[in-house]
Amino acid sequence: MLASAVELLSLIRGLPRPVSAAIILGLMGIAGIALIRIPPQHLIDLIRGGGSREAPGAPPAEARYRFQQGLALAANGRIDESIREFSDAINLAPNYAAAYGNRGVAYMMQKKYNKAHEDLIKAIALDPADKTAFYNLAAVHALRQEWDLSLDRLDQALKLGFDDYDVLRRDPDLDAVRKLPEFRKVLERHKIVP
């Protein structure tokens, strides 16, 4: 893990200041709801994706830059601006699942649950293995008092490997769902201690 941290810091130095600040805040856990809750190795992979070589199907560099700006703005509480950046990334790369997912979370922060729902559904359609999008969709359903749908999406997130159990236990968006007996059953099915 130490090697990953050293490598990550060396990669961060070459990024624009707002982006590197967002990454550092994310590592510190300050950024909030799943916007930047990414393990260091995933951040290294994301930053490496910013080079001149593009993987087949990868969003273009400008779209990735807009996405990173959106993360930085969201980390600083500038949600309207972050939504604009995520939207710009989507306009540049209409199949950019992560941009839809993070814009959905930004809409959640504004209590625009229908828009959040639409974006998270789109993110999942583009990347059906996105465990974080399923988790955030579970939160949207909980906030809309759609308990069964929330539990189903949470179950799917856990099946896909969602493992941020501290967030799962403390996320205020899931307060009402955690009180349901079915919530405990979902956790037990995945061998998670409530």
What is the residue whose two structure tokens read 């009180």?
179
- Domain termination site, one of 77, 107, 128: 128
Quick one: 30 and 97 in the same domain?
A: yes
H/E stretch holding 153:
helix 147-159
Q: Based on the fold, state whether residues 102 and 190 are members of the same structural domain.
A: no
Domain end point (choices 128, 148, 183) = 128
d(CA 98, CA 87): 11
| Interatomic CA distance for residues 29 and 47, integer angstroms | 18
Number of domains in the chain: 2
Q: Is 186 among the domain residues?
A: yes
Q: Are residues 24 and 78 in the same domain?
A: yes
Give domain status of residue 54, yes or no.
no
Intra-chain end-to-end CA distance of the chain, in Å: 28
Q: What is the pTM of this model?
A: 0.72
pLDDT of the residue at 193: 79
Domain assignment of residue 38, yes or no = yes
Answer yes or no: do 112 and 170 share one domain: no
Count Cα atoms within 13 angstroms, Cβ side, for 171.
22
Q: Do residues 103 and 182 both lie within one domain?
A: no
Same domain as 138, residue 118 = no
* Domain with 135 in it: 129-194
Is residue 162 located within the same domain as residue 66?
Answer: no
pLDDT at 98: 97
Are residues 98 and 123 in contact, defined by beta-carbon separation less than 8 angstroms? yes
User: Residue 29: is its pLDDT beyond 60?
Assistant: no
Distances, alpha carbon 22 to alpha carbons 31, 46, 96, 121, 169, in Å: 7, 13, 20, 25, 25
The owner of tokens 């236990």 is: 169
Q: Does any domain span residue 178?
A: yes
Q: Report the pLDDT averaged over residues 99-113.
A: 98
Does pLDDT of 28 surpass 90? no
Better-scored residue on pLDDT, 112 or 19: 112
